[in-house]
């Protein structure tokens, strides 16, 4: 078993443990009540009897059914007296799709499992993931400034049929990082593999690869469904490392038709000046101008005054 698989198993076991022990503790507490304990016992017996009757196609099945249902109602009532509901006795798994097992009923890996694999792989190469924001928490008052609806509907809903390159540019406070983070969240929930990292962390990662002369991990960046580079321009640029590796990643993504989102404070001229023609033409996808998607933000805080 690989180290990552072991870590994932441990992670899910602890999630399930938490969800199940909470429900079990509540049940134990409820069972200390003599009336509930009696009704619960009768209810469990009636339930088993009903299922058995059903399996063996008993003639008086409806009697079993009505006894089971009567006891179910009675149990609910007694629970209510204890200020509890059936829901309190049910484990609340973090992932409703796989009940924190990582796998769906058909044996396929759940999207939360795939996200976890990516998270651990990223951590292995020294990139810690950031908690994502969501479209639900987007302030409707900011909609005139930030095209939330557009990106939710015209980007996330149609992904991966989106432009290969999308640039959110504008100064601090334009909401570009927030928007990119919402996109990451929305796509990851749909099961797409997303890597969101700051240009600073990306550069650090490139330097580590360069120092270790290990290029294998770079494929994580070129193969994910969406790569989001946040705040391009905030990182120090080392010609032999930053520029070469960034070009390599962008080229590979283009070759495999994998979209990239970039947020930046820099305008087009500054990007050209800082990264050179080759990277510039990838970022702005000069080969197909229609295929570039740019949101130029206004400072939300200034306009709101
Ligand atoms: Zn899941």
- 184 and 241 together in one domain: yes
- CATH code of 141's domain: 3.40.50.300
Cα-to-centroid distance, 47 and ligand 1 (Å): 29
Q: Across residues 257-285, what is the average pLDDT?
A: 92
Cα-to-centroid distance, 13 and ligand 1 (Å): 13
- Which of the listed residues 89, 114, 141 is the one where a domain comes to its end? 89
Query: Does 87 score more than 70 pLDDT?
Result: yes
- 155 and 76 together in one domain: no
Q: Is residue 80 part of a domain?
A: yes
Residue 82: the pLDDT is 95
pLDDT digits (tens, 9 = 90+) for 106-135: 998 888 888 888 788 778 777 777 778 888
Residue 303: the pLDDT is 45
Q: Check residues 83 and 303 and name the one with the higher pLDDT.
A: 83
- 146 and 77 together in one domain: no
Query: Does 93 score more than 90 pLDDT?
Result: yes
- 164 and 254 together in one domain: yes
Cα-to-centroid distance, 91 and ligand 1 (Å): 15
- 77 and 186 together in one domain: no
Residue 13: the pLDDT is 96
Q: Across residues 90-102, what is the average pLDDT?
A: 93
Cα-to-centroid distance, 171 and ligand 1 (Å): 37
| Angle at alpha carbon of residue 47, lines to 45 and 51, rounded to 5° | 120
Q: Is residue 102 part of a domain?
A: no
The rounded Cα 250 to chain-centroid distance in angstroms is 23
3-state DSSP call for residue 168? strand
Q: Check residues 283 and 294 and name the one with the higher pLDDT.
A: 283
Q: Is residue 273 part of a domain?
A: yes
- 199 and 291 together in one domain: yes
Average predicted confidence (pLDDT) for the chain:
88
Environment class of 71 (CB within 10 Å of its CB; exposed 0-12, middle 13-18, buried 19+) = buried
Q: Is residue 199 part of a domain?
A: yes
- 73 and 135 together in one domain: no
In whole angstroms, what is the distance from residue 144 CA to residue 159 CA? 23
Q: How many helices (H) and strands (E) does the chain have?
A: 11, 5
- 219 and 174 together in one domain: yes
Query: Does 289 score more than 60 pLDDT?
Result: no
Query: Does 273 score more than 70 pLDDT?
Result: yes
Q: Is residue 106 part of a domain?
A: no
- Which of the listed residues 89, 116, 142 is the one where a domain comes to its end? 89
Cα-to-centroid distance, 129 and ligand 1 (Å): 18
pLDDT digits (tens, 9 = 90+) for 20-42: 999 999 999 999 999 999 999 99
Q: Check residues 159 and 117 and name the one with the higher pLDDT.
A: 159
In whole angstroms, what is the distance from residue 124 CA to residue 215 CA? 14
Q: Across residues 173-181, what is the average pLDDT?
A: 89
Residue 103: the pLDDT is 93
Q: Is residue 96 part of a domain?
A: no
Residues spanned by the domain of 276: 125-304
Residue 80: the pLDDT is 96
Q: Across residues 216-238, what is the average pLDDT?
A: 91
Q: Across residues 10-28, what is the average pLDDT?
A: 95
Cα-to-centroid distance, 95 and ligand 1 (Å): 5
pLDDT band at 192 (very low <50, low <70, confident <90, very high): confident
- 78 and 138 together in one domain: no
Sheet architecture: strand order including 260-264: 194-198, 226-232, 260-264, 165-169, 292-296
pLDDT band at 301 (very low <50, low <70, confident <90, very high): low
Q: Is residue 98 part of a domain?
A: no
User: Are 257 and 226 within 8 A, CB to CB?
Assistant: no
- Which of the listed residues 89, 113, 139 is the one where a domain comes to its end? 89
- 243 and 146 together in one domain: yes
- 269 and 192 together in one domain: yes
pLDDT digits (tens, 9 = 90+) for 34-84: 999 999 999 999 999 999 999 998 889 999 999 999 999 999 999 999 999
Q: Give me the number of domains the chain comprises.
A: 2
Cα-to-centroid distance, 102 and ligand 1 (Å): 5
Q: Is residue 113 part of a domain?
A: no
Residue 173: the pLDDT is 81
Cα-to-centroid distance, 143 and ligand 1 (Å): 32
Residue 305: the pLDDT is 41
Instruction: Please identify which residue in the block is written with the tokens 């990662």.
Output: 205
Cα-to-centroid distance, 19 and ligand 1 (Å): 14
- 173 and 290 together in one domain: yes
């Amino acid at each position: 078993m690989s180290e990552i698989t072991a870590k994932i198993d441990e992670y899910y076991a602890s999630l399930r443990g938490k969800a199940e022990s909470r429900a079990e503790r509540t049940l134990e507490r409820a069972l200390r009540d003599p009336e509930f304990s009696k009704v619960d016992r009768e209810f469990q017996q009636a339930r088993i009897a009903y299922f058995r009757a059903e399996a063996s196609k008993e003639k008086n099945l409806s009697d079993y059914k009505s006894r089971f249902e009567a006891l179910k109602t009675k149990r609910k009532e007694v629970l209510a007296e204890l200020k509890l509901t059936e829901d309190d006795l049910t484990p609340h798994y973090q992932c409703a799709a796989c009940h924190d097992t990582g796998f769906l009923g058909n044996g396929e890996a759940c999207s939360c499992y795939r996200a976890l694999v990516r998270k651990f792989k990223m951590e292995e190469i020294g990139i810690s993931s950031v908690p994502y924001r969501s479209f639900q928490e987007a302030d409707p008052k900011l909609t005139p400034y930030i095209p939330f609806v557009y990106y939710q509907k015209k980007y996330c809903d149609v992904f991966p049929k989106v432009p290969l390159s999308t640039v959110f540019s504008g100064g601090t406070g334009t909401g570009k990082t927030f928007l990119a983070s919402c996109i990451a969240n929305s796509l990851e929930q749909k099961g797409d593999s997303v890597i969101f990292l700051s240009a600073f962390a990306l550069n650090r990662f490139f330097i580590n690869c360069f120092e270790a002369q290990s290029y294998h991990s770079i494929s994580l960046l070129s193969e994910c469904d969406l790569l989001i580079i946040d705040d391009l321009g905030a990182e120090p640029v080392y010609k032999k490392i930053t520029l070469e590796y960034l070009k390599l990643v962008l080229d590979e993504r283009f070759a495999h038709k994998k979209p990239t989102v970039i947020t930046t404070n820099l305008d087009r001229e500054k990007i050209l000046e800082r990264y050179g023609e080759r990277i510039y033409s990838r970022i702005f996808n000069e080969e197909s101008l229609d295929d570039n998607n740019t949101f130029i933000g206004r400072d939300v805080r200034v306009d709101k005054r």
